[in-house]
Amino acid sequence: DAGVIQSPRHEVTEMGQEVTLRCKPISGHDYLFWYRQTMMRGLELLIYFNNNVPIDDSGMPEDRFSAKMPNASFSTLKIQPSEPRDSAVYFCASSEQGYLETQYFGPGTRLLVL
Protein backbone atom coordinates (compact mmCIF):
# COMPACT_ATOMS: atom_id res chain seq x y z
CA ASP A 1 0.00 0.00 0.00
CA ALA A 2 1.20 3.53 -0.74
CA GLY A 3 0.36 4.74 2.73
CA VAL A 4 -1.70 7.81 3.52
CA ILE A 5 -1.64 10.23 0.60
CA GLN A 6 -2.09 13.97 0.99
CA SER A 7 -2.31 16.71 -1.57
CA PRO A 8 -1.10 19.27 -2.18
CA ARG A 9 2.21 18.93 -0.35
CA HIS A 10 2.68 22.69 -0.30
CA GLU A 11 0.14 25.47 -0.62
CA VAL A 12 0.71 29.20 -0.64
CA THR A 13 -2.36 31.41 -0.73
CA GLU A 14 -3.49 34.89 0.13
CA MET A 15 -5.61 35.80 3.09
CA GLY A 16 -9.30 35.44 2.35
CA GLN A 17 -8.91 32.67 -0.21
CA GLU A 18 -10.46 29.25 0.13
CA VAL A 19 -8.06 26.38 0.77
CA THR A 20 -8.87 22.69 0.29
CA LEU A 21 -6.61 19.97 1.58
CA ARG A 22 -7.08 16.38 0.47
CA CYS A 23 -6.40 13.00 2.01
CA LYS A 24 -6.60 9.41 0.86
CA PRO A 25 -6.35 6.99 3.79
CA ILE A 26 -4.86 3.53 3.68
CA SER A 27 -7.29 1.12 2.09
CA GLY A 28 -9.31 -0.78 4.67
CA HIS A 29 -8.72 1.68 7.49
CA ASP A 30 -11.92 2.71 9.23
CA TYR A 31 -10.64 5.78 11.07
CA LEU A 32 -9.35 9.01 9.59
CA PHE A 33 -7.83 11.87 11.56
CA TRP A 34 -6.90 15.46 10.67
CA TYR A 35 -4.14 17.16 12.71
CA ARG A 36 -2.49 20.56 12.62
CA GLN A 37 1.12 21.18 13.65
CA THR A 38 2.54 24.59 14.58
CA MET A 39 5.62 25.65 16.47
CA MET A 40 3.55 27.30 19.17
CA ARG A 41 0.95 24.61 19.79
CA GLY A 42 2.59 21.45 18.52
CA LEU A 43 0.37 18.71 17.08
CA GLU A 44 -3.37 19.09 17.67
CA LEU A 45 -6.23 16.86 16.63
CA LEU A 46 -8.80 18.78 14.60
CA ILE A 47 -11.39 16.14 13.76
CA TYR A 48 -11.73 12.42 13.21
CA PHE A 49 -14.06 10.14 11.27
CA ASN A 50 -15.17 6.56 11.76
CA ASN A 51 -16.61 4.84 8.70
CA ASN A 52 -16.94 8.24 7.00
CA VAL A 53 -18.93 9.74 9.88
CA PRO A 54 -17.44 12.64 11.90
CA ILE A 55 -17.09 11.52 15.50
CA ASP A 56 -15.39 14.41 17.25
CA ASP A 57 -14.82 17.84 15.74
CA SER A 58 -14.16 19.66 19.00
CA GLY A 59 -10.64 20.48 17.85
CA MET A 60 -11.79 22.41 14.80
CA PRO A 61 -10.73 25.95 15.65
CA GLU A 62 -13.49 27.97 14.03
CA ASP A 63 -16.42 27.83 11.68
CA ARG A 64 -14.01 28.73 8.91
CA PHE A 65 -12.81 25.12 9.09
CA SER A 66 -14.86 22.25 7.73
CA ALA A 67 -14.09 18.62 6.94
CA LYS A 68 -15.88 16.01 4.91
CA MET A 69 -15.45 12.36 4.11
CA PRO A 70 -17.76 11.51 1.20
CA ASN A 71 -16.45 7.96 0.92
CA ALA A 72 -14.00 5.57 2.53
CA SER A 73 -11.11 6.61 0.32
CA PHE A 74 -11.26 10.39 0.39
CA SER A 75 -11.47 13.27 2.84
CA THR A 76 -11.14 17.03 2.56
CA LEU A 77 -10.32 19.77 5.02
CA LYS A 78 -11.46 23.18 3.87
CA ILE A 79 -10.59 26.60 5.23
CA GLN A 80 -12.78 29.47 4.06
CA PRO A 81 -11.75 32.25 4.35
CA SER A 82 -8.11 31.55 5.17
CA GLU A 83 -6.10 33.75 7.55
CA PRO A 84 -2.34 34.06 8.18
CA ARG A 85 -2.71 32.33 11.55
CA ASP A 86 -3.88 29.21 9.72
CA SER A 87 -0.35 28.74 8.41
CA ALA A 88 0.77 25.33 9.63
CA VAL A 89 1.43 21.78 8.54
CA TYR A 90 -1.76 19.76 8.28
CA PHE A 91 -1.51 16.01 8.68
CA CYS A 92 -3.96 13.30 7.84
CA ALA A 93 -3.71 9.91 9.55
CA SER A 94 -5.65 6.67 9.40
CA SER A 95 -5.96 3.61 11.58
CA GLU A 96 -7.40 0.16 11.18
CA GLN A 97 -10.60 -0.82 12.96
CA GLY A 98 -10.25 1.34 16.00
CA TYR A 99 -8.71 4.45 17.43
CA LEU A 100 -6.81 2.27 19.89
CA GLU A 101 -4.68 1.06 17.02
CA THR A 102 -1.56 2.66 15.62
CA GLN A 103 -2.22 5.70 13.48
CA TYR A 104 -0.39 6.00 10.17
CA PHE A 105 0.41 9.54 9.14
CA GLY A 106 0.61 11.10 5.72
CA PRO A 107 3.49 13.40 4.72
CA GLY A 108 1.48 16.52 5.51
CA THR A 109 0.46 19.67 3.65
CA ARG A 110 2.52 22.74 4.44
CA LEU A 111 0.16 25.72 4.24
CA LEU A 112 1.29 29.33 4.11
CA VAL A 113 -1.32 32.06 4.14
CA LEU A 114 0.05 35.47 3.23
Check residue 2 for interaction with another protein (CB under 8 A): no
Strand-pair category, 10-13 with 109-113:
parallel
The SS3 of residue 113 is: strand
- Applying CB under 8 A, the span of 14-22, 62-70, 79-87, 93-101 interacting with another protein comes to 93-101
- CA–CA distance, 39 with 16 (Å, rounded to integer): 23
Within residues 41-70, the interface with another protein by CB under 8 A covers 42-45, 48, 55-56, 59
Length, in residues, of the chain: 114
Max distance between CA atoms of the chain, in angstroms, equals 39
Size of the site for another protein (CB under 8 A): 23
Site residues (vs another protein, CB under 8 A)? 4, 31, 33, 42-45, 48, 55-56, 59, 91, 93, 99-100, 102-108, 110
